[in-house]
């Protein structure tokens, strides 16, 4: 099955074995990659490639919106949803206008959120590792 498609097999395994935090970070990384492709395509005046890249970015934003649990996340989830919806709307506008500056602005906003998720993920990892050490030696 994976013969001839090792990268796709790796991706499937990587996604299937990742934690929720890791999956969110993977979504942010993919979205940033697609936005960079969109910026490059705008510079090259390849508007079909621009549309494809920004459409993929938008789909990732919609996925992030759909996975928010406002019932459990409360105000934080509601605020994230507002930011994601804003970024999605701006992505659509950037796609229509073929405006790289709008994309860069979105990347700045989402980069801050991604950095926050990375920090949370790292702290959770340190806490989990520390807890394991305590239980092993205790």
pLDDT tens for 95-107 read: 999 999 999 999 9
Which band of pLDDT confidence, cut at 50, 70 and 90, is reported for residue 137?
A: very low
Helix (H) or strand (E) holding 99: none
Helix (H) or strand (E) holding 35: helix 20-43
- Cα torsion through 85, 91, 97, 102, rounded to 10: 100
d(CA 123, CA 117): 10
Task: Name the average pLDDT for the chain.
Answer: 84
Query: What is the SS3 assignment for 12?
Result: helix
Alpha carbons within 13 angstroms on the beta-carbon side of residue 62 total: 9
pTM of the model as a whole: 0.76
* pLDDT at site 124: 65
d(CA 32, CA 107): 7
């Amino acid at each position: 099955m994976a013969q001839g498609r090792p990268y796709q097999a790796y991706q499937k395994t990587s996604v299937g074995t990742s934690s929720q935090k890791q999956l969110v970070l993977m979504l942010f990384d993919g979205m940033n990659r697609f936005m960079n492709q969109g910026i490059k395509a705008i510079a090259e005046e390849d508007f079909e490639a621009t549309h494809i890249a920004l459409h993929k970015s938008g789909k990732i934003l919609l996925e992030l919106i759909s996975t928010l649990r406002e019932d459990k996340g409360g105000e934080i989830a509601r605020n994230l949803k507002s930011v994601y919806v804003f970024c999605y709307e701006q992505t659509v506008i950037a796609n229509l206008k073929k405006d790289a500056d709008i994309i860069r602005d979105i990347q700045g906003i989402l980069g801050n959120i991604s950095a926050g998720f990375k920090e949370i993920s790292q702290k959770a990892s340190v806490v989990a590792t520390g807890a394991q050490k305590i239980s092993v030696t205790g």
